[in-house]
Structure 1
Amino acid sequence: MTLAHLAATIQARKSASPDSSWTAKLLAKGPEKCAEKFGEEAIEAIIEAVKGDRDKLIAEAADVLYHLLVMLAARDITLSDVEAELTRREGTSGIAEKAAR
């Protein structure tokens, strides 16, 4: 599954019943809960990265990407919006980009 396909599925679930979809249930709880869940998954990924368990890190990274897309959807931000920002930054040094903030 590509990130674009996952993002489209999440968008479609915005109108689903929270009783029938985990994604719809998360979105119904609001952006704050979606952000909290993203944070939990990010911490779990960090723990697996430190431990060095490749398979567990891959699984947690998938959870992080899913929950990031849910969090963005909760604030009506699309994957295309994020991709546009990455394109804007392309060719810019990370050091220069941070200095411009």
Structure 2
Amino acid sequence: MAKPEKTRKNAPSKATPAKPASGKAAGKAPAATIEIAAVGPATPDVLDRLFDVVESRRGTDPSVSHSARLLARGRRKIAQKFGEEAVECLIEAVADNREELISESADVLYHLIVMWVDAGVKPAEVWTELLRREGTSGVAEKAARPRDPLA
């Protein structure tokens, strides 16, 4: 299984809690952060930075960049890798292997971002969709979707 490219040196595995980032919406719990020695706070904007790194690899030498290699192989291969990582994530969740679930979750997010880059989807578009759904019951949101006549 391929691991995401690192934009920073590998940090020691010991993480210490940091002060939470402030929440944007009034009354919302702040985003969780974890301070990682020698790296800094781990916050959700790491996904935006990872997207920028993957996007910068488009068209570069596939022999030196896993992202470039995946992008050069096309959407079918990217989707296949995403599916493989998703299955591995599910296996670790069912097996109650917390550390492996965390690792596989990172792989899933990385491969999803590679797929976004290939498809021209920007993270802000996904964040906007999540904001649109915020505060809506999952049952109500699903009921509001157009029905698939084949389902």
Q: Which residue of 2 is the match for residue 66 of structure 1?
A: 110
Q: Which has the higher strand share?
A: 2
1:49 aligned onto 2:93: yes
Aligned to 2:82: 38
Deviations 1:80-101 (A, max 9, x none): 1111111111121111110011
Q: Give the structure with the higher percent helix.
A: 1
If you compute each CA radius of gyration, which structure gives the higher value, 1 or 2?
2
| Larger relative contact order (CA 8 Å, sep ≥ 6) | 1
Q: What RMSD in Å do the two structures reach over aligned CA positions?
A: 1.0
User: 1:8 and 2:40 equivalent?
Assistant: no
- Percent identity over the alignment is 51
Look up the match of 2:125.
81
Structure 1 gaps of 5+ residues are none
Regions of 4+ moved over 3 Å: none
The TM-score with structure 1 as length reference comes to: 0.95
2: CA distance, partners of 1:10 / 1:58: 20
Question: TM-score normalized by structure 2?
Answer: 0.64
Segments of structure 2 that go 5 or more residues without pairing to the other structure are 1-41, 146-151
Say how many residue pairs are matched.
101
